[in-house]
């Protein structure tokens, strides 16, 4: 997805220049994993023209394997992204109807080839939201992944502009049966599945630990998830957030809360995806649950300081922050 953004804090109605980058839920996760040194393959469909090629180049630049990307269709989706500050929230205007991926057909993807030798499959709730054919594609992918013994994670990522809650619930209920690791925030769980904790006002900027434990357990109970990660954002303003997460291990029945970071935000978009990327990396490389959630939260804390959708940090940088040095001293 093309990401177009005015410079600094300009609004579109006054802008004459844009930053031209690329992003999107699954792409962002792929870049995170590639930056950590894993072999990350990104699957989508992109038009054959120069803008599609620029998207491919952007992924290759950060070492994502683009050989499985199908080329064709007419257009690539666009996210017009306006950066917020203080009391003004960021605004995303999506223009992705009729994109090549949205208009792709199941036959575009040969999942058996794609999953050959793979260890992990990640998708987000944004993809099935693009239309029924995408729900089918996700189901095909999940089934093939299961057949190849590939673990599956899903970030619920509800987008109200793309589908209704009813549509989301139906599709995601179907797809979640294949999922091993579910990533959510309280809003998603409520919007998609109607699962909510009592006595928590997510807009109040206060974290209710018991509430989150309740949500995670309900999710795991309903879909049989192995693990449920819930990100806990305290949105004080568009410039300052509190940021932490909880990982619930349903097998061991353990709740792991990470430390909390006070973020001064450079770029908020992609923050959730960077958590997913960090978590998958941590689980794939055998870290324990507590370390995994710490790694994932530290990864996404760093993402909030990086321009663009992609999380441009190394595993060593994440480890260092997870180990406790958040003082921001110059490294020289």
Cβ at position 220, least distance to a copy of itself in Å: 26
Looking at the DSSP bridge assignments, the partners of residue 151 are 120
User: Contact 79/93 with Cβ under 8 angstroms?
Assistant: yes
Q: In 3D, which of 99, 95, 92, 97 has the Cα closest to residue 5?
A: 92
As given in the structure block, the two tokens for residue 17 are 């220049």
Of the listed pieces 74-82, 105-113, 147-155, 281-289, which binds a copy of itself according to CB under 8 A? Answer: 74-82
- DSSP helix/strand/coil, 95: strand
Contact residue for a copy of itself among 37, 61, 116, 119 (CB under 8 A)? 61
Q: Which of residues 110-149 bind a copy of itself (CB under 8 A)?
A: none
Q: Which of residues 229-288 bind a copy of itself (CB under 8 A)?
A: 235-241, 261-269
Cβ at position 300, least distance to a copy of itself in Å: 10
As given in the structure block, the two tokens for residue 174 are 């179907």
Q: Does 298 bind a copy of itself (CB under 8 A)?
A: yes
> Site map for a copy of itself, 10-49, x if CB under 8 A?
xxxxxxxxxxxx---------------------------x
Question: Between 141 and 230, whose beta carbon lies closer to a copy of itself?
Answer: 230
Q: Which of residues 173-212 bind a copy of itself (CB under 8 A)?
A: 203, 205
- Angle of CA points 181, 185, 190, to nearest 5°: 105
Of the listed pieces 127-135, 145-153, 173-181, 306-314, which binds a copy of itself according to CB under 8 A? Answer: 306-314
CA 100, 105, 108, 110 torsion-angle sign:
positive
Contact residue for a copy of itself among 37, 39, 72, 74 (CB under 8 A)? 74
Q: Does 316 bind a copy of itself (CB under 8 A)?
A: no
Looking at the DSSP bridge assignments, the partners of residue 80 are 4, 93
Q: Does 8 bind a copy of itself (CB under 8 A)?
A: yes
Q: Does 156 bind a copy of itself (CB under 8 A)?
A: no
- DSSP helix/strand/coil, 225: coil
Q: What is the DSSP letter of 85?
A: B
Round to whole Å and give the CA distance between 191 and 169: 8
């Amino acid at each position: 997805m093309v990401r177009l953004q005015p410079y600094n804090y300009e609004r579109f109605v006054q802008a004459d220049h844009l930053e031209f980058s690329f992003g999107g839920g699954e792409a962002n996760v792929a870049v995170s994993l590639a930056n950590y040194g894993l072999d990350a393959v990104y699957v989508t469909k992109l038009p054959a023209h120069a803008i599609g090629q620029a998207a491919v180049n952007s992924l290759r630049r950060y070492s994502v394997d683009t050989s499985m990307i199908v080329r064709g269709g007419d257009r690539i989706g666009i996210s017009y992204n306006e950066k917020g500050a203080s009391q003004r929230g960021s605004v995303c205007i999506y223009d992705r109807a009729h994109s090549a991926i949205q208009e792709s057909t199941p036959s575009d993807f040969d999942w058996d080839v794609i999953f050959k030798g793979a260890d992990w499959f990640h998708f987000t709730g944004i993809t099935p939201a693009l239309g029924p054919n995408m729900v089918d594609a996700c189901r095909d992918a999940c089934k093939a992944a299961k057949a190849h013994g590939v673990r599956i994670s899903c970030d619920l990522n509800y987008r109200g502009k793309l589908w209704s809650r009813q549509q989301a619930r139906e599709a995601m209920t179907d797809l979640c049966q294949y999922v091993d690791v579910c990533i959510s925030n309280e809003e998603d769980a409520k919007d998609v599945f109607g699962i909510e904790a009592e006595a928590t006002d997510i807009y109040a900027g206060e974290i209710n630990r018991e509430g989150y434990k309740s949500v995670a357990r309900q999710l795991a109970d309903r879909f049989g998830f192995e693990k449920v990660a819930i990100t806990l954002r305290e949105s004080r303003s568009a410039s300052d957030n509190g940021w932490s997460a909880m990982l619930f291990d349903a097998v061991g029945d353990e709740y792991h809360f990470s430390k909390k970071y006070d973020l001064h935000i450079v770029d908020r978009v992609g923050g959730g995806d960077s958590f997913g990327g960090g978590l998958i990396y941590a689980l794939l490389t055998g870290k324990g649950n507590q370390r995994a959630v710490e790694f994932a939260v530290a990864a996404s804390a760093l993402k909030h300081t990086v321009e663009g959708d992609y999380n441009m940090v190394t595993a060593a940088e994440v480890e260092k922050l997870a180990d406790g040095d958040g003082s921001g001293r110059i490294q020289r």
